[in-house]
């Protein structure tokens, strides 16, 4: 029980760091220095005002100095990460798998919230993800090899590499066909397509799916790819009712779909594939 409470607090602290990344990475600022500051008045934040989740509540969501609003994103990211760490710790304990998935899902949180705010993503983030995913697979492979002492195609590095190639290839093919279809459709309606509107999927989505494949394998790529549009539709439906903007970045849906396929992938597959 104590360990679980500690993992939750640890998760909230990781979430606090992810907030720093979400704010600073797209603005090309260092994520290490300086210490946290208010985005409005730039005053450094004292440690007692920088306690994850709690400080936001004590300060009623306002900066102590300039009284400007602090974004709800801060406590939301901290809560998401806290529950994520609690879940990963309860399921896997403290080991290689724990850190592997902690890294992946932390990166998904960063990528999603940057995409929500900026509708764009620094390209190197998914490449970094792919690289780290391969390193985890390599370490995992070395551990397996020490026990098994022979090679076969179920080695983690092999599965990871297959996932990477499939994630990139599969999504890129869909992008190609999607682009051709979209151009055909726009021509048919006699619409001059504006640059940027001609893309069905961005190259960022392709890299993202490569990363998912590296960490979670081929099956998860397929599932994520087909679950994400349903979540997007679901959101679009409510956006329509609430008359909110329906211009939506896609990476949050892909991230959510990734988590769903990670949790219930096998269950969903057994429902879909009739035996
Ligand atoms: Zn301030």
Distance 37 CA to ligand 1 centre (A): 8
Query: Dihedral (C-alpha) 65, 116, 104, 25: value to the nearest 10 degrees?
Result: -50
CA of 2 from ligand 1 middle (Å) equals: 35
51, 12 in Cβ contact below 8 A? no
69: left (phi over 0), alpha (psi -120 to 50) or beta: beta
Average the pLDDT over each of 78-92, 123-137, 192-206 and give the range with the smallest value: 192-206
Entry pTM: 0.89
Q: What is the mean pLDDT of residues 162-189?
A: 88
Is residue 273 pLDDT above 60, yes or no? yes
Expressed in angstroms and rounded, the spacing between residue 42 Cα and the centre of ligand 1 is 6
> Taking 80 as the threshold, does the pLDDT of residue 192 lie above it?
no
pLDDT band at residue 107 using 50, 70 and 90 as cut-offs: very high
Find the 122 Cα to ligand 1 centroid distance in Å.
27
**Strand, helix or coil for residue 71:** coil
Going from the Cα of 62 to the center of ligand 1, the distance in angstroms, rounded, reads 8
Distance between the two ends of the chain, CA-based, in angstroms? 41
* Confidence at 189, pLDDT banded by 50, 70, 90: confident
Ligand 1 centre distance from Cα of residue 21 (Å):
19
Question: Which residue matches tokens 């970045």?
Answer: 249
CA of 56 to the centre of ligand 1 (A): 13
Residue 58 pLDDT > 60, yes or no? yes
Average predicted confidence (pLDDT) for the chain: 88
165 Cα to the center of ligand 1, angstroms: 46
What's residue 214's pLDDT? 96
What spacing in Å lies between the alpha carbon of 203 and ligand 1's midpoint? 37
Instruction: Tell me what the mean pLDDT of segment 144-163 comes to.
Output: 83
Distance (angstroms) between ligand 1 centre and the Cα of 14 equals: 23
Q: Is the CB of residue 11 less than 8 Å from the CB of residue 84?
A: yes
Q: Which residue has the higher pLDDT, 222 or 272?
A: 222
- Count how many Cα atoms sit within 13 Å of the Cα of residue 187 in the half-sphere of its side chain: 6
What is the residue whose two structure tokens read 């391969």?
A: 134
**Backbone phi and psi for residue 69, each to the nearest 5 degrees, phi listed first:** -65, 140
The answer to which of 152-156, 186-190, 218-222, 240-244 has the lowest mean pLDDT is: 240-244
């Amino acid at each position: 029980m104590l360990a679980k409470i500690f993992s939750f607090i640890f998760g909230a602290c990781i979430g606090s760091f992810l907030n720093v990344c979400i704010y600073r990475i797209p603005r090309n600022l260092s994520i290490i220095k300086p210490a946290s500051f208010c985005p409005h008045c730039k005053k450094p934040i004292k440690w007692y005002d920088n306690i994850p989740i709690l400080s936001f509540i004590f300060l009623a969501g306002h900066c102590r100095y300039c009284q400007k609003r602090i974004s709800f994103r801060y406590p939301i990211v901290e809560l998401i990460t806290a529950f994520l760490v609690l879940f990963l710790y309860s399921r896997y304990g403290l080991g290689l798998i724990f850190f592997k998935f902690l890294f992946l899902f932390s990166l998904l949180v960063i990528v999603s919230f940057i995409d929500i705010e900026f509708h764009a993503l620094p390209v190197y983030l998914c490449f970094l993800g792919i690289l780290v995913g391969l390193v985890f697979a390599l370490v995992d492979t070395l551990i397996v090899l020490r026990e098994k002492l022979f090679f076969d195609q179920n080695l983690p590095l092999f599965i990871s590499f297959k996932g990477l190639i499939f994630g990139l290839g599969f999504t890129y093919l869909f992008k190609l066909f999607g682009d051709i279809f979209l151009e055909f459709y726009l021509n048919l309606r006699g619409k001059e397509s504006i640059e940027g509107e001609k893309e069905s999927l961005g190259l960022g989505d392709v890299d993202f799916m490569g990363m998912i494949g590296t960490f979670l394998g081929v099956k998860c790529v397929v599932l994520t790819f087909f679950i994400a549009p349903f979540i997007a539709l679901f959101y679009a439906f409510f956006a329509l009712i609430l008359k909110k903007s329906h211009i939506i970045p896609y990476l949050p849906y892909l991230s959510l779909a990734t988590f769903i396929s990670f949790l219930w992938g096998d269950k969903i597959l057994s429902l879909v594939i009739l035996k």
